[in-house]
Structure 1
């Protein structure tokens, strides 16, 4: 979901929007993804709708105005929808400017009350245009009265500009709700008495990298801890500390995120210096367990053991104990002048 915050393969809502908001609450970082142009079988089509036509979608616009008044003012109605599993998905509005497209999408539970303010599209969404592009999805808000969650999509074409007649297809397969966000001091880790790491994971199934300085990562020299499950400490439901210590004069901290394919459990480990300022890892490396269900993430900080006594260790986590709401939501809308 720009290289979003390469930090964990995820990033917060863009600063230009946060600066416009009077207040905002912490939101789950949104992953940015890249797609190649591909043909899609569309389950729901709309007739040619002028993106700049007049119209109204009051709830969606009010939610977006809370995040970005300037973005809301530029969006114009599209109003194309489809429904599956009792949930209606509507492309409410869009704006196209050169290589960039902004789209407002709402998900409404028309048969129950399954959605809430934690609704997340769980990386199950896809964006298709005639050209290669990358895009991200950001939670915009939730309206309890109508059981409607609204999301803002941003698409950036890699080489070509969208023109009238081009079509955008947006699809979603899962919606995750009941998520919990926590940010807590990790009292378990004693930064004064740190063990030396000498037990390493053999042939880890590496699933990804992240961090503030990926250029410093030498993949052929990576050594990761063997998870210590017997001494694992539960930090949050679905999150456990499975190891920490000093390796090559750097601090390593390893966390297990359980059942990620059903819960999207994830997070980050960071330090706070004596001024209360956050200090993030230089890079992190992830690997899966044998079943591919749990994900281990090891965070590396280039701070020697004798320089850590003035720091605190913190963890920020996004967890969920519910399984996703599954469906097949897909709409295609063409662009006109």
Structure 2
């Protein structure tokens, strides 16, 4: 108590004025404490909701900043009406409660922090489903967070709360959450900006919502549901604002770079216009439109399916987004990004773009739920005896050789969905929900240029059945079956199959979208654009050099910067490449040989918008341990990391922003410390990318259109397993040659071609399955694969080269063909004879 005694001697008894001063001091200390804590406390919360593809909305995760953790309450208190101040340690005073209606309430503790208040609203919102999905349990849990005063006033609080919430889903919060007032205030208001709400089938992400939080007698804050206020900020209907918003959402910052162009081409009443564009060395962004000046051949079904704009220069990747459809104008506006392997030409060259043949489409959307409720019944089904003309798998656990049963199409419902399109059946077969659609009339479209296609495309829209204990949607489409009963080679029937039983009928979401080809507008539209019109010069533009923090840069005319080789680079052991230099230049490229043979370099940090790593950029960096590739990366040059003998980790983002990555020849060759490799989707590789990585043990390859390239893993002597994505069709020359420990190799089912010496020297391979799609195996493809014991041949037509199994014991290796077992020597002799005959 010595501190208290010293306090009295210094200040004397406390009067009302002193208490006012102390109250302000306490509030100031609280605010300061909360500010300090907020800087340290960050917590991410995600609110579960229905996935957009399965139900109404995709829930957006939220991130909120927390704050003041609170102080421990102590038993000593100040009597409410005692004007004499009893000195106490300041932290005890901070913990005191306040008066509410003349009655002392418990002191606000950690639950009074911004973090905790937001969390209570988040807990409330977590149960805020649409009325169709909201349960009594959801409402009961939400009522626990509502104020006692409101519940007493409401009477039947559950029904009152259900009425207030209506059919709106509170899905998630964005940035900008603010709380009014301070601890001890009877009511504080939480304002949430950019909240995600779903109303009916539509989702809105710019709502503003307010919650009044009342201080309860237990010191906690409770929601007054009647105070919940929802407001939608004014959204511009100006077409240019809508286009700019979508562009910024897709490619942040691009609207500031685009240069107006306004060039057009018009034929047969269809106008194609290049509105704006910009060139950034390896990239071209442009906004363009198609408009039907005479009718509705450009319509809402045209969405990015009319035709791709093409460039007569070689490009490596393209991403096109729909920006705006103006129904009254019959006009669609698109945004396109193209990326190139090499820097684009000078201002004297011309950028060519154009379009050939415009297929006209029509779209119809059909909600299957009313039909399911009225006509849906359980049926035995009939086997699909006609061969499938097309089929499409969506479930991961469906056997490809499954015998499908379909609804009996000999007794159709015959409900018209659109012209020449009828719903012929809907119901359950076992634990599957089926919907059957029949197409009639002429469905073949052939243009003078030889284009041939099916008149319709079709897919499931929203679907799903809520079945699990936590209320999540678990239903999914298994397959889309299509068959032909007229013999014209075009499907007449399509049947959707998804999981579900009659018990799930009330909770099923089932919508089908169908598109039909109506006609073609056959012509060619072209626009020639000088590159000089598409460049936006930056301050101090021109091919100049600049130096900053020991690194040299080339400042390019398009406002980007390229890291250059420099003498100082050799002495650096840690490098952080900045996002920009010289005020206005974005660093987008690490130039050729920039850090070649920098043997002291141990770590490199690259900016988020880096797009290119040049040839030999890090070759011979023998101390480099790990590399994280930016999401914007588009290309890695030849020998970029060749000979980085200490490199143990190459980290790619699962989804790269550029949409595509090209890895050049020998990019990681000789990286002897690499143990495993995972590559992202949408990637192409040059030759020998991972050649001679002697300690590489396992590899996971995504689908690559180029297949496994020549010598891609040759000399990887410790490689034991390779996983290749379905759809891979090609294994290049020497791709796995010298991988003597490779014993696990499943050749994908759609593999078509295995080049010469592809598996030469893979002596640990013990079995092999050649899929039915494989039509060619070249010379010495499996030379020296002495460990092979069995080979299963599923293909019926195979062109096979010379000495394919050279060095293998042909008499003691069994080959299984059509359930018959032969020796490799006998089978190979027969296969060679057939090959020579053809």
**Paired residues of 2:295 and 2:330 also in contact (CA < 8 A):** no
Corresponding residue for residue 432 of structure 2: 250
Matched, 1:142 2:326: yes
Q: Please give the per-residue CA displacement for 1:212-259, whole angstroms capped at 9, x wherever unaligned.
A: x4x334323252537605414325114333344555643333333556
Between Structure 1 and Structure 2, the one with more strand by share is 1
**Paired residues of 1:98 and 1:161 also in contact (CA < 8 A):** no
The 2-side partners of 1:241 and 1:278 are apart by 25
TM-score, normalisation: structure 2: 0.28
Q: Please give the per-residue CA displacement for 1:6-43, whole angstroms capped at 9, x wherever unaligned.
A: x8xxxxxxx9xxx99999x999xxxxxxxxxxxxxxxx
The 1-side partners of 2:366 and 2:287 are apart by 28
**Paired residues of 1:99 and 1:162 also in contact (CA < 8 A):** yes
**Paired residues of 1:281 and 1:299 also in contact (CA < 8 A):** no
1:125 Cα deviation after fit: 0.6
**Paired residues of 1:241 and 1:256 also in contact (CA < 8 A):** yes
Q: Secondary structure at the match of 1:174?
A: strand
Corresponding residue for residue 378 of structure 2: 194
The 1-side partners of 2:285 and 2:393 are apart by 26
1:205 Cα deviation after fit: 0.8
Q: How many equivalent pairs are there?
A: 280
Q: Secondary structure at the match of 2:383?
A: coil
**Paired residues of 2:304 and 2:322 also in contact (CA < 8 A):** no
Structure 1's 296 and 120: CA in aligned 2 closer, same or farther, altered over 3 A?
A: same
The 1-side partners of 2:263 and 2:320 are apart by 20
Higher relative contact order (CA 8 A, sep 6+): 1
Runs (5+) with no aligned partner, structure 1: 1-6, 8-14, 28-58
**Paired residues of 1:197 and 1:247 also in contact (CA < 8 A):** yes
Corresponding residue for residue 632 of structure 2: none
1:299 aligned to 496, 501, 506, which one? 496
Structure 1's 154 and 255: CA in aligned 2 closer, same or farther, altered over 3 A?
A: farther
The 1-side partners of 2:361 and 2:471 are apart by 32
1:276 Cα deviation after fit: 10
The 1-side partners of 2:326 and 2:373 are apart by 37
Structure 1's 239 and 22: CA in aligned 2 closer, same or farther, altered over 3 A?
A: same
1:231 aligned to 399, 405, 412, which one? 412
Corresponding residue for residue 772 of structure 2: none
1:85 Cα deviation after fit: 0.7
1:61 aligned to 230, 234, 240, which one? 240
Q: Secondary structure at the match of 2:380?
A: coil
Q: Secondary structure at the match of 2:434?
A: strand
How do 1:22-41 residues align onto structure 2 when only pairs under 5 Å count?
Answer: none
TM-score, normalisation: structure 1: 0.61
Q: Please give the per-residue CA displacement for 1:32-69, whole angstroms capped at 9, x wherever unaligned.
A: xxxxxxxxxxxxxxxxxxxxxxxxxxx86345136445
**Paired residues of 1:125 and 1:170 also in contact (CA < 8 A):** no
**Paired residues of 1:185 and 1:313 also in contact (CA < 8 A):** yes
1:85 aligned to 268, 287, 291, which one? 268
Higher-Rg structure is 2
1:149 Cα deviation after fit: 0.8
Corresponding residue for residue 423 of structure 2: 241
1:195 Cα deviation after fit: 0.9
Corresponding residue for residue 281 of structure 1: 476
**Paired residues of 1:63 and 1:142 also in contact (CA < 8 A):** no
Corresponding residue for residue 118 of structure 1: 300
Matched, 1:131 2:131: no
The 1-side partners of 2:280 and 2:385 are apart by 48
Q: Please give the per-residue CA displacement for 1:183-215, whole angstroms capped at 9, x wherever unaligned.
A: 452334569841122332321111x5253x4x3
Q: Please give the per-residue CA displacement for 1:73-109, whole angstroms capped at 9, x wherever unaligned.
A: 2543343322211221112223567987543221233
Corresponding residue for residue 317 of structure 1: 513
Corresponding residue for residue 328 of structure 1: 523
**Paired residues of 1:191 and 1:311 also in contact (CA < 8 A):** no
1:328 Cα deviation after fit: 2.0
2:399 aligned to 206, 210, 218, which one? 218
The 1-side partners of 2:301 and 2:351 are apart by 27
The 1-side partners of 2:492 and 2:474 are apart by 23
**Paired residues of 1:104 and 1:151 also in contact (CA < 8 A):** yes
1:138 Cα deviation after fit: 2.2
The 2-side partners of 1:276 and 1:261 are apart by 44
Cα RMSD for the two superposed structures: 4.7
Q: Secondary structure at the match of 1:64?
A: helix
Indicate the larger mover: 169-178 or 272-281. 272-281
Structure 1's 245 and 318: CA in aligned 2 closer, same or farther, altered over 3 A?
A: closer
**Paired residues of 1:195 and 1:244 also in contact (CA < 8 A):** no
Structure 1's 314 and 107: CA in aligned 2 closer, same or farther, altered over 3 A?
A: same
**Paired residues of 2:466 and 2:472 also in contact (CA < 8 A):** yes
Matched, 1:204 2:357: no
The 2-side partners of 1:277 and 1:248 are apart by 22
Q: Please give the per-residue CA displacement for 1:101-126, whole angstroms capped at 9, x wherever unaligned.
A: 5432212334x344576361683413
Corresponding residue for residue 308 of structure 1: 504
**Paired residues of 1:101 and 1:156 also in contact (CA < 8 A):** yes
Structure 1's 201 and 278: CA in aligned 2 closer, same or farther, altered over 3 A?
A: farther
The 2-side partners of 1:241 and 1:189 are apart by 14
